[in-house]
Chain A
């Protein structure tokens, strides 16, 4: 498992976004996206920062085509959003993020759930 520091370095080198984790049961988790991946493209556009991600995501409403970097190679992955999606409750989401214990503890030896 790549350390978080190394992940951020990798993401910086590749000019992409570090995937810190996926919430359970979401399209990305089901498609196998996981901690340690570096997100390079969304919907055919480079995602070098949050702003570009937000823009690229806005190109499609039903899902997104992402390109991630893992184990030395680029992988295209198609994500389809759930058709029936309840509005997200920020408090629930925050609770989930906290209880997921994403990256808790020392950044160099923690495991991420995926």
Chain B
């Protein structure tokens, strides 16, 4: 029998007991070489890792009592080299500050178990520096946008399907990009067309050369165009691809892993996130007005509407802006059609969180309300001013708060 000294110890801390349980049992089953333990609050976790040193800490950020961040700081205080994986839905300033620490990795919720597994393996195998993330939830342009907006400097390595690419960020600019086949702007566009994979960020890495002259907005705009083009042309999508749908960060007070757990047939905790039967509700959440007001604050906000596909009404409200849809170019319906085809081929219908269409001057986002399958939010954004990643997060927030 091995002892704990020989097996690598992993401690998973999440107040969501079902999630901690699900992650730990699957990890223990697939990786007998790890000794996996769980805790559901920071204090218990700290007591455990003090009593019995661990090799990897996996922690949620938001927990009642001692927060995940406090826990990580305390854990690193006693062992500065301890690899840490932070699970979080949002990159807050606190989380960003943490990622300056080289032993901390970063896993964006919700994630797929395989990503989690890969990250655990890598942290324990190499003690890899920098932080990594799973991008099943976002498109690469969104990820790039987040780094640009956080004024990051460093090298982002992206792996997809056996290929590897690298993007350099320098104080909010993208000076250099390279892949196996391309360099400069073409390399950037090649990477942006990858649909899924992994990325890791080496903070403070400086670009070895400068190959990109376009600014990041131009790069992302052109990427969006090429992505649309690719989708339009595609007739036989690969069944293994996962990155097309976009899943905004889940609400903090909701079970962000309902999907993940539900995918595991053996789990007795399997739940369906959607209840198709409308329920009678008596209370109005206090923050509906505030949450809708958030829509107005989205950069480039043009207008929003609520679409009830059951009654057929498209509704606008005061403060929602006057939704002006520009003339749909002839090709746009084709885009939607081919996207739909792709989705149905992939069997992705159930997992769609939001859908984006790119028009000449506007982005249009549509997002079904999770709690009411017949209702959709419809938002138009000015392309020149919009920040898609932020818009998605804001829209997801509003949707979350409207769940009644």
Contact = CB atoms under 8 A, between A and B. Distances in A.
Interface of A: 4-5, 7-8, 11-12, 17-23, 25-29, 33, 39, 48-55, 57-61, 64, 66, 79, 81, 85, 87-95, 97-99, 101-107
A91 B309 contact: no
Contacts of B315: 17-20, 39, 50, 53
Contact of A50 (B277, B312, B317, B373): B317
B1 interface: no
**5 closest residue pairs by CB, A with B:** A26-B312, A51-B288, A95-B336, A91-B340, A28-B312
18 contacts: A11-B317, A21-B313, A22-B313, A39-B315, A49-B288, A49-B317, A50-B288, A50-B292, A51-B285, A51-B404, A54-B375, A55-B404, A57-B308, A58-B372, A88-B374, A90-B352, A98-B336, A101-B325
Given A18-B317, A51-B292, A91-B340, A98 B374 contact: no
Interface size class of B (residues with CB under 8 A): 35 or more
Pick the most buried of B336, B378, B402: most chain A CB atoms within 10 A of its CB.
Answer: B336
A103 B304 CA distance: 12
Given A51-B402, A58-B372, A90-B376, A18 B328 contact: no
Contacts of B352: 90-91
Pick the most buried of A61, A88, A94: most chain B CB atoms within 10 A of its CB.
Answer: A94
A83 to B, nearest CB: 12
A89 B339 CA distance: 11
Given A54-B372, A55-B404, A90-B366, A22 B278 contact: no
Nearest to B285: A51
B129 to A, nearest CB: 41
A103 B368 contact: no
Contacts of B126: none
Contacts of A19: 313-315
Contact of A8 (B292, B318, B367): B318
Contacts of A58: 278-281, 372, 404
B324 interface: yes
Nearest to B295: A50
Contacts of A85: 310
B148 interface: no
Contact of B349 (A33, A54, A89): A89
B344 to A, nearest CB: 8
A96 B318 CA distance: 24
A53 B373 CA distance: 15
A89 B336 CA distance: 11
Given A61-B277, A102-B323, A103-B322, A8 B366 contact: no
Interface of B: 277-281, 284-285, 288-289, 292, 305-318, 320, 322-328, 332-333, 336-337, 339-340, 343, 349, 352, 354-355, 357, 359, 364, 366-369, 372-376, 378, 402, 404
A53 B371 CA distance: 14
A104 B312 CA distance: 19
Contacts of A103: 322-325
A28 B357 CA distance: 26
A93 B278 contact: no
Nearest to A22: B312
A50 B294 CA distance: 13
Contact of B325 (A26, A88, A92, A98): A98
B316 A93 contact: no
Pick the most buried of A8, A79, A99: most chain B CB atoms within 10 A of its CB.
Answer: A8
A54 B375 CA distance: 8
A8 B304 CA distance: 13
A92 B313 contact: no
Pick the most buried of B280, B310, B326, B359: most chain A CB atoms within 10 A of its CB.
Answer: B310
Nearest to B401: A51
B308 to A, nearest CB: 7
A25 B349 CA distance: 23
Contacts of B278: 57-58, 60-61
B332 A11 contact: no
Nearest to A35: B314
Contacts of A59: 280
Given A23-B312, A55-B404, A98 B376 contact: no
A105 B359 CA distance: 14
A55 B402 CA distance: 9
A98 B357 contact: yes
B306 A50 contact: yes
A102 B318 CA distance: 18
A94 B378 CA distance: 8
Nearest to B287: A51
Contacts of A11: 316-318
B73 to A, nearest CB: 39
A107 B325 CA distance: 10
